[in-house]
Structure 1
């Protein structure tokens, strides 16, 4: 579930990179020898590496009708730092769904070791539906763009009635405002777009670094086009269960929170911590649950926020977001301290509403078009009630109804089943404690890939392992694989 610096959890990813989207300028330069069908030009946006170029690749909106309407996929590139050592192209597949990697060649791509940057052109892209590629919007009400609303948190008493009403309202808005394209946004469509990008780049095979939801995209691409893949790194891995797909990712938050919250509790009770919330780690969990319950009963007004109150579900959503990286732990601690005092911090700064609308539409379309979700309120209520008892920190949200419960369109193709068929060129890297993509789900992808993959499990906390929240041992293994193709002979643990 998110993104250069994304909040991909279940389904919406809003990246800092999205605030400065890059797009091709109106004037372009002729394509280099890399590919005959790409005209590289400048990129719009701030803070970009001056070497980054942008271009547009035209793809079919509907792959069942390849001669029909076309849409644009905007891509970016920073060429190899050492053309004599160049191996090919490394596509950075973003999280989300709803994330973009368009600015990643200028961003996290520059954290790659020099020998990796020598070996590859770094390629980013804005997936179909996401600006500046041909874009979509559902035109949701402002209140329905709140992350605590987009995520299906039940009512304080555990009822899903309001969630079902929200699902019907938001799904109807997508059907009304999303146009024909919203029916053609899915993981399989994205994988096919990637192969069109590969061909346009003039590459016989494509290397990839997929993060979070991008691991599922990368796995699907490797399944559909096994002999067009080179070295593939899948980082912070999603459960590929073909019967549930995104429902399994949402359900995984139960385990992810239980795996990760103890690390927050240790940090939040450490002596000398300026944001210390308790004297001992054992006190932090009950304190959080008491605060959430109090805010369920008596929300605190929060002008400028969406919603404009700090309620129990906003606190729970902040927990989910903050556990994605130890660097975000202070955000949760500060909110807990404020809530205990009956106050609120300054309202968080939200991206521009058109960006939120666009990301929400792409996220909804992908999750709902990938697999059919149940439509019965009773089925969701049963799951929520059980989940609230077993996992009180997540309060039933991972089993609840979201927009897909009322999605008006049926999936146009069955989910792809990930198998061990294909070349053995995949390396999985996975933090042991990941709230968004827990280890238990990553092991499902590892099992599905069989002999095609080797997995490096990292003794670290946070989402996004490689060059982010992992450790030096894991980073070395991944960098060596990208630069040389050398992988461990078997699954490895990086302490």
Structure 2
């Protein structure tokens, strides 16, 4: 830990002002970005940043950014930096995604929308642990542990993952993927764009990144919108365990939807019966897995489906097939690199580097047993052990501490029923930010409220803030719409 203190001291000595940067040179975007953002016409550029802010002479990497320029220069007030979440979500095409989902023209006129692949992602010095399609690791949300032995078994899997990540880190970049460094990158981007202040719209993990930026550079933060909030500037084991709380809070809406359609799907006439069907299918698959997966796979598929109400019908269809003994047509994966290798790698690097995780397997065994009882739908997955327990690098610095000192310029937007970021996370962030923030609680289900969700009240409040700077005088609630 002595080394951590030395590095932290060096980071503390980094000047508050970003180094002067030349204006970026806009040009064509990579073909995959053009296709993903269509029909929105994006420009792209690179911004060089230090690999290691504690030792800027050690080298630089290029962060690739995109721009959807304002079409109304007379109304343009600056840039709006965007982050889709993750950590590990590619963001170059995100301006086009939000426009396609209906981002109001007034917001598009007010800002140049700036997307980016943050460090380690996509086109910005991508990193790889070498995940394959046929490997034992199936994602960054741990598998459901049916019993104590399953936790011990998973510990061996994730230990191998951590070792594999270290082995594949040929350039030594993994240890420098942190929320604090990404926030520093945001400020370099602001400087390179010639802007005095940063406006920011971030979703999910983007809320943690935005909170970190607003805390590290409060005087350079302008209008900040954080949607679907974790409770801090980092993810830790408690944040992961709240996935189970989110499942318990969101599942009733799905169960009610399914119960109203019992004559179509036959999964239960009441929400209680639908819940019982969930356990019936899961427990049967625990004992008798099918080619498409086991009970853990089924639980994970249901968890993922509750991110958005648009997945309710296909999920009910899947349940119906499984309940009647059918086997969903799942094409076998071809051996080779996993298409999720980069995103999984960045998620692990940032999550494991930001905070010191418990290393004793007994800690996770106790947590799984406790959460299996308290949150039976998904607790034994969310509390399970991750590669962070065996990560090869200790945190280089303490997590970014949220400050309540600064302007009242942070709008928190949060659905009340949200699988990975339950409402409790927004409440925690609101408490830490104090008078700097206002919280808009939305009576809706799903991950993402503004633009991604459909609540008119949340849209209007957020648009008004981004365009006119009108932040609520107090916390607000939006009724279902």
Aligned mate of 1:400, from 384, 397, 422: 384
Q: Which whole-Å CA distance do the structure 2 matches of 1:406 and 1:328 have between them?
A: 35
Q: In structure 2, what is the equivalent of residue 123 of structure 1?
A: 114
Q: In structure 2, what is the equivalent of residue 476 of structure 1?
A: 460
Secondary structure of the equivalent of 1:89?
strand
Deviations 1:165-196 (A, max 9, x none): 01110000000002300111011111011111
Change in CA separation of 1:107 and 1:395 when aligned onto 2, cut-off 3 Å: closer
Q: Does 1:281 align with 2:265?
A: no
Aligned mate of 1:327, from 303, 307, 310: 310
Aligned mate of 2:217, from 206, 211, 225: 225
Q: Does 1:440 align with 2:424?
A: yes
Change in CA separation of 1:350 and 1:115 when aligned onto 2, cut-off 3 Å: farther
Superposed, which structure 2 residues align to 1:9-408 within 5 Å?
36-43=22-29, 44-45=31-32, 46-47=35-36, 48-49=38-39, 51-110=41-100, 111-144=102-135, 147=138, 150-159=140-149, 160-179=151-170, 180-240=172-232, 245-271=235-261, 274-302=264-292, 310-347=293-330, 353=337, 355-408=339-392
Deviations 1:242-267 (A, max 9, x none): 7xx33222111121011101001001
Superposed, which structure 2 residues align to 1:450-465 within 5 Å?
450-465=434-449
Change in CA separation of 1:419 and 1:273 when aligned onto 2, cut-off 3 Å: farther
Q: Which whole-Å CA distance do the structure 2 matches of 1:153 and 1:186 have between them?
A: 25
**8 Å CA contact retained: 2:236, 2:357:** no
How far did 1:354 drift?
Answer: 5.1
**8 Å CA contact retained: 1:323, 1:329:** yes
Deviations 1:74-120 (A, max 9, x none): 10001111001110000111201110221011121452211111110
Q: Which whole-Å CA distance do the structure 2 matches of 1:79 and 1:312 have between them?
A: 47
Normalising by structure 2, we get a TM-score of 0.90
User: Runs of 4 or more off by more than 6 Å in structure 1?
Assistant: 348-352
Q: Which whole-Å CA distance do the structure 2 matches of 1:425 and 1:293 have between them?
A: 48
Q: Which whole-Å CA distance do the structure 1 matches of 2:378 and 2:40 have between them?
A: 44
Moved more, 336-345 or 448-457: 336-345
Q: Does 1:424 align with 2:408?
A: yes
Moved more, 466-475 or 155-164: 155-164
Moved more, 269-278 or 311-320: 269-278
Secondary structure of the equivalent of 2:327?
coil
Q: Which whole-Å CA distance do the structure 2 matches of 1:372 and 1:262 have between them?
A: 34
Secondary structure of the equivalent of 1:455?
strand
How far did 1:142 drift?
Answer: 3.0
State the superposition RMSD in angstroms.
Answer: 1.9
Change in CA separation of 1:195 and 1:276 when aligned onto 2, cut-off 3 Å: farther
Paired residues in the alignment total 451
Q: Which whole-Å CA distance do the structure 1 matches of 2:124 and 2:56 have between them?
A: 18
Deviations 1:381-409 (A, max 9, x none): 01111111111111412222101011111
Moved more, 247-256 or 456-465: 247-256
**8 Å CA contact retained: 1:461, 1:470:** no
Normalising by structure 1, we get a TM-score of 0.87
**8 Å CA contact retained: 1:155, 1:162:** no
Q: Which whole-Å CA distance do the structure 2 matches of 1:210 and 1:92 have between them?
A: 6
**8 Å CA contact retained: 1:270, 1:279:** yes
Change in CA separation of 1:298 and 1:395 when aligned onto 2, cut-off 3 Å: farther
**8 Å CA contact retained: 1:324, 1:434:** yes
**8 Å CA contact retained: 1:270, 1:276:** no
Secondary structure of the equivalent of 1:42?
coil
**8 Å CA contact retained: 1:388, 1:396:** yes
Secondary structure of the equivalent of 1:465?
coil
Q: Which whole-Å CA distance do the structure 2 matches of 1:476 and 1:131 have between them?
A: 33
Deviations 1:203-235 (A, max 9, x none): 100101010000000000000011111100000
**8 Å CA contact retained: 1:154, 1:163:** no
Deviations 1:357-383 (A, max 9, x none): 111111110110011111111111011
Change in CA separation of 1:470 and 1:434 when aligned onto 2, cut-off 3 Å: farther
Change in CA separation of 1:150 and 1:474 when aligned onto 2, cut-off 3 Å: closer
Q: In structure 2, what is the equivalent of residue 10 of structure 1?
A: none
Q: Which whole-Å CA distance do the structure 2 matches of 1:461 and 1:348 have between them?
A: 31
Secondary structure of the equivalent of 2:94?
coil
How far did 1:301 drift?
Answer: 1.4
